[in-house]
Amino acid sequence: MTDKVLNVLFLCTHNSARSILAEAILNHIGRGRFKAWSAGSSPRDNQQPDPLGLQVLQNAGISIQGLKSKSWDEFGRVDSPQMDLVITVCDNAAGEVCPYWPGQPATAHWGHPDPSVGDGTEAQKLEAFRQTLHAMKRRLELLISLPPAKLEKTLLQSAARQLARD
């Protein structure tokens, strides 16, 4: 298992904020052991990543290259990368019926408040994105620090779900 790259898919409704942050963070800190993607259950037409989220990522020194909003349908096809772990990061996506994922990956829900909703100044909204980034990063750091034995498929789901409580 130590040489295998674990594929992780982060899901949210629109794939514009939390799931994009999680994808970028894990690809940044994953030490080559993880490859992350993100998708939405129902991205809007012409959906784009939230500019404040992209700004927070750049401010943290995390690449935004290649980030784009997309439908989760892209990952349910036979020719899609096979996921080892699928994590919903918003409550709406967690409650939806997910498509069939090839390989039957482990699943977990890591709920985070949506930093893109609510009224406030741009500085307040930027701070909400920064707080979400840091909360996700802490949880993802715990995931990548798990020993290889914990990343075996039978234990991965349990470990990922436990991190939702930490």
Length of the chain: 166
Question: What pLDDT is recorded for position 161?
Answer: 77
pLDDT, residue 126, reads 94
List helix spans (H) across the chain: 18-29, 51-59, 91-94, 122-144, 153-163
When comparing pLDDT for 163 and 98, which is higher?
A: 163
- pLDDT tens, 15-72? 999 999 999 999 999 989 999 999 998 888 888 999 999 999 999 999 999 999 999 8
Q: Is the pLDDT of residue 6 over 90?
A: yes
Determine the 3-state secondary structure of 90 from DSSP.
Answer: coil
Q: Which residues pair with 40 in a beta bridge?
A: 12, 71
Residue 1 has pLDDT above 50, yes or no: no
Mode of pairing for the β-strands spanning 34-40 and 106-109:
unpaired
How many whole angstroms separate alpha carbon 85 and alpha carbon 141? 15
CATH of domain 6-154: 3.40.50.2300
C-beta of residue 40 within 8 angstroms of C-beta of residue 11: yes
Distance between CA 46 and CA 22 in Å, rounded?
21
SS3 of 71-132: EHHHHCCCCCCCCCEEEECCHHHHCCCCCCCCCCCEEEECCCCCCCCCCCCHHHHHHHHHHH
Angle at which helix 122-144 crosses helix 153-163, to 10 degrees, equals 140
Provide the residue type at 121 as one letter.
T
Q: What is the per-residue pLDDT across 84-139, written as a single tens digit (0 to 9) for each?
A: 999 999 866 555 566 667 778 888 889 888 898 878 898 999 999 999 999 999 99
pLDDT confidence bin for 80, thresholds 50/70/90: confident
Instruction: Give the tokens for residue 72.
Output: 């989760």
| Distance from C-alpha of 102 to C-alpha of 70, rounded to nearest angstrom | 18
The domain ranges of the chain are 6-154
CA–CA separation, 113 vs 115, rounded Å?
Answer: 6
